[in-house]
Structure 1
């Protein structure tokens, strides 16, 4: 009986967290109505050019993606890989702790 109550409370918490994430996403889209999301790299480049027009970069990129879509894909893959590694480590240690408690 106690295990069922614990499962129901976890399910309720998961639903609340999911709704919070959806609310944050929708809120962010509503706040930025014009749809322009720029990265900090572009803003930094503009500021440097404004402050010092004669500035030359120290080096060039080794790999320049052919389009913005490919750049977004690579950025998303990089983030997904990082999240996968972090969640694996967290799961590993949680499983190790649970196994040690048994």
Structure 2
């Protein structure tokens, strides 16, 4: 199976994106940014000292900046899939119109 030049560029960009996303996770350990979850936990504990969480996180990132990075990746993936789908629908509509004209 031989890939076209565009296919090779796409695969290279995907690999580069994965590297850019994963490498910071290896080097960020103790960051100071806690996010809204930590603040909410402090407020709830102040209101009710006997409260204990009924769910635990499946993955505990090494620091707050890592959580922020993962949130950004989640948002980027979601928007990428959404706009890919929108582009696909628009292109399909244009292609169908072109076929009807021929």
Q: Give the TM-score normalised by the residue count of structure 1.
A: 0.54
Aligned pair count reads 66
1:51 offset after TM fit, Å? 2.5
Gap regions ≥5 residues in structure 1:
1-36
Q: Is contact 2:34–2:64 with CA below 8 Å preserved after alignment?
A: no
Please name the residue that 2:40 is paired with: 44
Question: What is the rounded CA distance, in whole Å, between the counterparts of 1:63 and 1:38 in structure 2?
Answer: 15
Match of residue 65, structure 1, among 61, 67, 76: 61
Q: Which one has more relative contact order, counting CA pairs under 8 Å at least 6 apart? A: 2
What TM-score comes out, normalization by structure 2 length? 0.54
RMSD: 2.0
Q: Deviating runs (4+, > 4 A) in structure 1? A: none
Match of 1:101 among 91, 97, 100: 97
